[in-house]
Amino acid sequence: MRKPPSFPGLTRAPCIGGPPDSRGTVFEEWGEVNDQALNRFLSGVERRALRMAAISTGSPDDALDIVQDAMMKLATRYAGRREAEWGGLFHRILQNGITDWHRRNRVRNRWRPPIGDGGAATTAPPDPVAALPATARHQPDRKLHDADTLAMLERAIRHLPLRQQQAFMLRLWEGLSVAETARAMGCSEGSIKTHYSRAVKNLRTALEGYWP
Amino acid sequence: MKQSESDPFLDAVRERLDRSADELDELTLARLGAARRRAVEAAGRRNPGPLGDLLAMGRAGHRRWWLPGSLLLLLAAAWLGLNRPAGPGMGALPLVEDLAILGSAEELEFYRDIDFYLWASGEPDKD
C-alpha cells in the first residue's frame, strides 16, 4: 500500500494569496538544486492532481488548466517556502482552483438562457448505476469491465457534493490526515469528518453490488 | 485514516484511482510535463508578491484595462438585467458576485457565444 505523504506545511495554516512571511522570501538563494526539488515535487503530485480535477470537473482540458494554474501559483508565490510546506500549499491552491471552477460554472449556467426544452440541464444529475448497460445493471455479480468500473466510480464521485468530493479525495487518495485536509479545504476538522463519512456512505450506496 | 486501510471497498477505490493516474496517455503526460517545466522556470524569477498578478501588467497596463473592463461590466449588467431568465430562487442571487465572475477574462468565451445561445433559445419558438 502506498505510504501516505506527509505535508507539514498544512499544520502551519498557510495563507494562500496573502503576503509571504520571512520564510517565503529567499528567492535570492534559488538555484538549480531548488529547481530540481520543485520539479521532483511537482512530478510526484501532478498525475493525481490532474485526475482529481478531471473527475471533479468532468473536463480534461479544464482540469489541465486548473493544475497548470496551481503549479504556476505554487512556483511563483511559494517556491521560496520550505520544501516540506509545498504539499500542503499545493493542495490548498488546487482545491481553491477546483472550487472556483464550480463557482464560475454555476454562475454561467445560471445566466445562460435555457436551450431547447427550457432548461432540462438543471434537473438532477443522472444516477450512475442507471447509466450502466442493462446487462450489467441486472447482474450485480458480474464483473464489470475495467473501463466501466472507472467510469462508474468517476460518475459517482462527481455527483457527490463538492465538499464531500474534496474531503474524500484528499483523505482517501492523497492520504492526508483530518487536520491536513481541513487546512487544504479551509474548514474545521469536524466538518472534514462529516464530509468524509457522508461521502463514503453515498459512494457505497451508489456502487453497491459492483465493488468489493 | 487508518480505518479505511482495511476496508475492501475503499481499498478497491484507491487502487482503481491509482491505476487511472498511472494510465494517463502520452499526450496528457507531455502537456503536464510542459506545464511543470514552465512552473519551475517561473520559480526562479522574482516573487511578484500578493498583488503580483495585477502588478505584472505594470501600472500602464492597469490603466489600459480599467476603462474597457468597467464598460464591459456595465454592458453585461444591462444585458443581464434585460434578459435575465426566470427561475425559482433567482431573486436571491448575489448579482455583484455573478458580475465579477462573468466580467473576468476567462469568461470572454461566454460573451462570444451569447449570440449562439440566444439564437438557439429562440429556435423552438419559431416552430
Q: In tens digits, what is the pLDDT along chain A, a chain of 212 residues? A: 455 555 544 443 333 333 344 344 444 456 776 888 999 999 999 999 999 999 999 999 999 999 999 999 999 999 888 888 999 999 999 999 999 999 998 887 777 665 544 444 444 455 555 555 544 444 544 445 667 788 889 999 999 999 999 999 999 999 999 999 999 999 999 999 999 999 999 999 998 877 66
Cell numbers linked to A93: 491552491
pLDDT of residue A22: 38
Cell numbers linked to B80: 443581464
pLDDT of residue A167: 97
- Closest residue to B36, CB basis, from A71, A104, A112: A71
Return d(Cα A163, Cα A55) in angstroms, integer. 14
**3 state SS of A158:** helix
Which residues of chain B neighbour A1 with C-beta distances below 8 Å? 5, 11
Cα torsion through A169, A102, A60, B18, rounded to 10 = 0
Return d(Cα B86, Cα B14) in angstroms, integer. 43
- Closest residue to A75, CB basis, from B22, B43, B85: B43
pLDDT of residue B10: 92
In angstroms, the Cα distances linking A48 to A91, A176, A206, B16, B33 are: 11, 13, 23, 12, 14
In angstroms, the Cα distances linking B122 to A165, A171, A188, B115, B125 are: 37, 47, 47, 11, 6
ipTM: 0.71
- The model's pLDDT over B42-97, given as tens digits with 9 standing for 90+, comes to 987 755 555 544 544 444 445 556 677 777 878 877 777 666 655 554 554 566 66
- The model's pLDDT over B3-29, given as tens digits with 9 standing for 90+, comes to 445 788 999 999 999 999 999 999 999
pLDDT of residue A110: 75
Cβ separation of A113 and B20 shorter than 8 Å? no
- Chain A to chain B, count of Cβ pairs less than 8 Å apart? 159
Return d(Cα B32, Cα B26) in angstroms, integer. 10
Cell numbers linked to A206: 451508489
One-letter amino acid at B56 equals: A
pLDDT of residue A182: 94
pLDDT of residue B73: 79
pLDDT of residue B97: 67
How confident is the model over B30-34, as a mean pLDDT? 96
Q: How confident is the prediction for chain B on average, in pLDDT?
A: 70
Domain range annotation of chain A? 1-118, 128-212
The band of B126, judged by pLDDT with boundaries at 50, 70 and 90, is: very low
Domain range annotation of chain B? 1-45, 58-127
* Residues A184, A90 contacting (CB under 8 angstroms): no
The fold adopted by the segment(s) A128-212 is Arc Repressor Mutant, subunit A (1.10.10)
Inform me whether the C-beta atom of residue B17 falls under 8 Å from chain A C-beta atoms.
yes
Closest residue in chain A to residue B120, using alpha carbons only: A115
Please, what is the Cα angle at B25 between B21 and B26, to 5 degrees?
Answer: 125
pLDDT top residue among A153 and B99: A153
